[in-house]
Amino acid sequence: VLALEQKAVQIIDQLRPRLDAVRQQKSKLGPQPGKDQPPESDAVAGERSRLTAIEQSIDGEMRRTDSYAVRASQLIDNLNQLQREHFARSLLTRTRSPLLPTLWIELGKESMKAIEDLSVKLDTWATISGPSLNWIVALGLACLVIWLALRAISRRTIHLYRDAVPGIPSFFARTITAAWVAVALAMPPIVAMLIGWIGLDQIDVLHAELDRIAWVAVSSVIVFSGVTALADALLVPRNSSWRLFDLSDSSAARIRWLMLWIAAVYAIDQILKEFASVIFAPLSITIAQSFLAGVAFAGLLVALLRTPFSVAPAPPAAIEAGLSAPGGGQLELFGPVRIEPKWVKLPLWVIAIGIVGAAVLGYVSLARFISGQIVVTGSIIVALVLLHHAVRAFAGDLIDEKNASGKWLSEQIGLNQVRRRRMATIFILSVQLGLILLAMPLVLLQWGFDWHVVKSWLASLLFGFKVGSIEISLARLLVAAAILAAGYFGTRLVQRSLDRSVLQPPRVDAGIANSIRTAVGYLGVGASVLLAFSYAGLDFTNLAIVAGALSVGIGFGLQSVVNNFVSGLILLIERPIKVGDWIVVGTDEGFVRRISVRSTEIETFDRSSVIIPNAELIQGRVKNWTLHDPVGRVRLQVGIDYACDPGKARQIMLDLAGAHPAVLKIPAPSVGFDNFGPSSVDLSLRVFVADVTSGGGVRTDLAFQVLEAFKGAGISVPFPQSDVHLRSVEPLKALIEETVDGKLAGKDAAGGNGHKPVAEAPATAHSR
């Protein structure tokens, strides 16, 4: 049914372009003439009839095929619903409780019959496989040799690689190593089992029932090998420097041992379950087996929960290297994973209690399902966690300029730390989305969904599904995002190449170089956006229609944005200001650091950034100190005493200015007589410098030198002073005499010596 639906959709996709082509040809003939209009020629009428017949034929075929696709889709939905109901019913079917004595009595009676049936099956398989016994033995020995050889090679390679790394490896190195170590450790048994299974199938000894058992054994070995390999790669009990989780050696060894036994119980239970299915074992055996497997799982989980997740102490070498801090706290951007026991152990306690409770109450299928998901789904989650931390560690290397990737992004692409951090965040989110999409089918298959259904969902998600009249394709969106990213990085590479080769300051003016660089950036990013949108399926015709309909709103609502954008283009073309210019806009003064599409960034002298809309720079008054050339004038005002010789002061200032290395000879320095001040003769020294940005330093140097030279030459620099002349002092003299007489009278009353009498002191103190 699924193939029928896919075939119908394929036919519709093939017919749709043909129908569009016929309708386009028919539209060129124009509308059919009405009753009052002159008839069209026979050739045009015949062509119209032919195209109409073809259009009706294709349209009818598409409608009929579409009805088949809808009917097939409905059948698939019904089958999926029945399958889900059957899966839920099988999990929630209640049997007899294993605690009932009658179950075990019945088990004792039926076990002998099951053993006899199994022996009969084994004799039958031995009889069938007898002629190929030599081949089977040879194949078994070959698989054993392959397993031992691959195991020795993989372990030797791992040891040599780890020993060759000096010091404490970074977390990124540990994560990448854990990924390939897990694969290397899992491959030997898996390859040996697959070779054995394929070999047995080639010598024709795997008949129907034996083939089922062999495949279950192979899949169980794959799961067991994968779990143990992940445990060894992540925990590394004998080498804490390569461990991904922040655990002590004893905790890591115990957790690894318990994970191995959980995987072993799962593999044995799967094989015994298939044997019971082959011999049609009684229900009592199935209940007992599921109960014992569930109790074993629960017991191992309880043992895991009782394991202390103690933190490993940081090695002294790691502390000295800056990779970790004492007590296990990591100084790396993304360090080893700290396991919080309450977040790990609480769900496992619930699962362990649920397994035992379901088995005791008679829900043996549910208990077995939960136990199996601990191993399979848990392994998928652990693998995702490993890949997740590998991605985060790699993103940390992108941010850190000390690493090769971060250094390359900084030097070749020109990304600062803020942009590298943003890029790392986008990279992490994108890869995490990919990991989730990769893990979802595996988890859905374990939870009872059919592979064809999962594949259909993935195909719809990746290659297109419709929301109303809009078709969304995740694959197209991902490729469009890749095109956009490639275009952005390519543009940055071209810009950096131009900066290093063509747009060098001695060869090209800095402002022209910035304009060219910005224009290349706009063109490259704009072309990348157009290509990405085109590949994603965005119809620019519809976009133009929408833009035309919203033109009035855009004209009023986005008027300032458009004005600033156009002003930014004018700034890049006309270049009244350039990057690096020293400008004054209103009360803001500083250097131009960046001219973007909407605004210009100015860095003031106190290192603050001022964002000015481009329209203000075009429409307002702007003072540019370095528009045509960097030459500037420095003015130093000095006041000397009226008693000093101005000519001598003038000559001293000219000599000092001429001796300064930053002062230009042409135009020559000059001293102007500015004004007769209230307390000084005001002079000003005017000099020119090659770079106006150095004018502040030159002015400071000259000020210190002039002050020192004036002191040595006896030329004083007066401060403002005023002489106050009183026209009449008689009222002031009378006021002073009155005040003095009052004070003398007070002294006489106190005893003539200015002190109170001794006898009155206690009384005065008491009165207070």
Structure tokens at 529: 């956006």
The whole model's pTM is what? 0.55
Cα Rg of the chain (Å, integer) = 45
What distance in Å separates the CA atoms of residue 511 and residue 583, rounded to the nearest whole number?
A: 14
Does residue 146 surpass a pLDDT of 90?
yes
SS3 content of the chain, % helix, strand, coil (to 5): 70, 10, 20
* Count of CA atoms in the C-beta half-sphere (13 A) of 747: 9
Tell me which residue has tokens 């203000």: 616
Q: CA-CA-CA-CA torsion for 210, 216, 219, 220, nearest 10 degrees?
A: -120
Asked whether residue 294 carries a pLDDT value surpassing 70, the answer given is yes
| Closest by Cα among 289, 226, 306 to 263 | 226
Mean pLDDT for the stretch of residues 199-210: 79
- Outline where 645-749 has alpha helix (H): 646-659, 695-713, 730-749
Asked if the structure places residue 455 within a domain, the reply is no
Say yes or no to pLDDT of 320 above 60: no
Q: What pLDDT, in 10s, does the model give residues 437-460?
A: 888 888 877 776 777 777 777 777
At residue 562, the 3 state secondary structure works out as helix
593: containing domain = 464-506+513-624
What is the amino acid identity at position 162? R
What are the pLDDT digits (tens) for 227-236? 899 888 888 8
Terminus-to-terminus CA distance in the chain, angstroms?
113
Q: Are residues 744 and 701 in the same domain?
A: no
Angle at 759 between CA 754 and CA 763, to 5 degrees: 100
Query: How many domains are there within the chain?
Result: 5
Check residue 506 and give its pLDDT: 64
Q: What is the mean pLDDT of residues 302-324?
A: 61
Check which CATH number belongs to the domain holding 667 and give it. 3.30.70.100
* Nearest by Cα to 293 from 227, 218, 359, 217: 359
State whether 702 and 748 are in the same domain: no
Position 454 in a domain: no
3 state SS of 502: coil
- Judge contact between 224 and 263, C-beta under 8 A: yes
* Same domain for 468 and 348: no
Distances (CA, A) of 510 to 504, 516, 521, 537, 577: 8, 10, 16, 41, 11
Burial of 741 (0-12, 13-18, 19+ CB in 10 A): exposed
Q: Does a structural domain hold residue 456?
A: no
Torsion from C-alpha of 73, 75, 76, 82, nearest 10 degrees: 150
- Asked whether residue 721 is assigned to any structural domain, the reply reads no
Query: How far, in whole angstroms, is CA 186 from its chain's centroid?
Result: 31
State the angle between helix axes of 42-92 and 451-463 in degrees (0 to 180), rounded to the nearest 10: 140
Instruction: Report yes or no on 97 lying in a domain.
Output: no
Look at residue 558 and give its three-state secondary structure: coil
pLDDT at 751: 53
Q: Is the domain of 527 the same as that of 617?
A: yes
Strand order in 632-640's β-sheet? 632-640, 681-689, 670-676
Q: Sign of dihedral through CA atoms 652, 653, 654, 656?
A: positive
Q: Strand 609-613: give its sheet, edge to edge.
A: 609-613, 599-604, 588-595, 582-585, 623-624
Residue 98 included in any domain: no
Look up residue 160 and give its two tokens.
Answer: 């040599």
Cis bond leading into 576, ω under 30°? no
Indicate whether 638 and 521 sit together in one domain: no
Q: Does residue 544 surpass a pLDDT of 60?
A: no
Report the pLDDT averaged over residues 687-713: 90
Checking if the pLDDT of 77 tops 90, the result is: no
Task: Pick the last residue of a domain from 600, 624, 648.
Answer: 624
Report which of 636, 710, 171, 633 is spatially closest to residue 392, judged by C-alpha positions.
171
**What is the C-alpha to C-alpha distance for residues 240 and 232, in angstroms, rounded to an integer?**
12
Q: How many Å apart are CA 516 and CA 591, to the nearest integer?
A: 20
pLDDT for res 654: 92
Beta bridge partner(s), residue 602: 592, 610
Query: Could you tell me if 671 and 742 lie in one domain?
Result: no
Specify whether 479 is located in the same domain as 619: yes
Instruction: State how far the Cα of 435 lies from the Cα of 110, in Å rounded to an integer.
Output: 48
Question: How confident is residue 619, by pLDDT bands cut at 50, 70 and 90?
Answer: confident
- Of 7-21, 117-131, 319-333, 362-376, least confident by mean pLDDT is 319-333
pLDDT-derived band at 755 (thresholds 50, 70, 90) equals: very low
- 754 pLDDT more than 60: no
Distance CA 223, CA 295 (A): 20
Query: Which tokens sit at 704?
Result: 């210190």
Q: Report the distance separating Cα 292 and Cα 359, nearest Å.
A: 9
| Lookup: tokens for 348 | 């496992």
Q: 255 with 129, same domain?
A: yes
**Residue 433: DSSP 8-state:** H
Answer whether residue 638 is part of any domain.
Answer: yes
pLDDT of residue 153 exceeding 90: yes
pLDDT at 329 over 60: no
Query: Which of 92, 117, 133 is the last residue before a domain boundary?
Result: 92
Do 439 and 586 share a domain, yes or no? no
Domain endpoint, select from 575, 598, 624? 624
The answer to whether residues 620 and 637 belong to one domain is no
Confidence band for 332, pLDDT divided at 50, 70 and 90: very low
Q: Are residues 639 and 687 in the same domain?
A: yes
- Tens-place pLDDT, residues 682-693: 999 999 998 888
Give tens-digit pLDDT for 406-434: 777 777 777 777 778 888 888 888 888 88
> Is residue 654 located within the same domain as residue 619?
no
Q: Note whether residue 722 is domain-resident.
A: no
Percent of the chain with pLDDT over 70: 84
- Cα separation, 720 vs 739, in Å, equals 34
Lookup result for tokens 């620099």: 717
Residue 761 has a pLDDT of: 40
Whether pLDDT at 335 is above 70? no
Alpha carbon distances (Å) from 706 to 261, 677, 710: 89, 19, 6
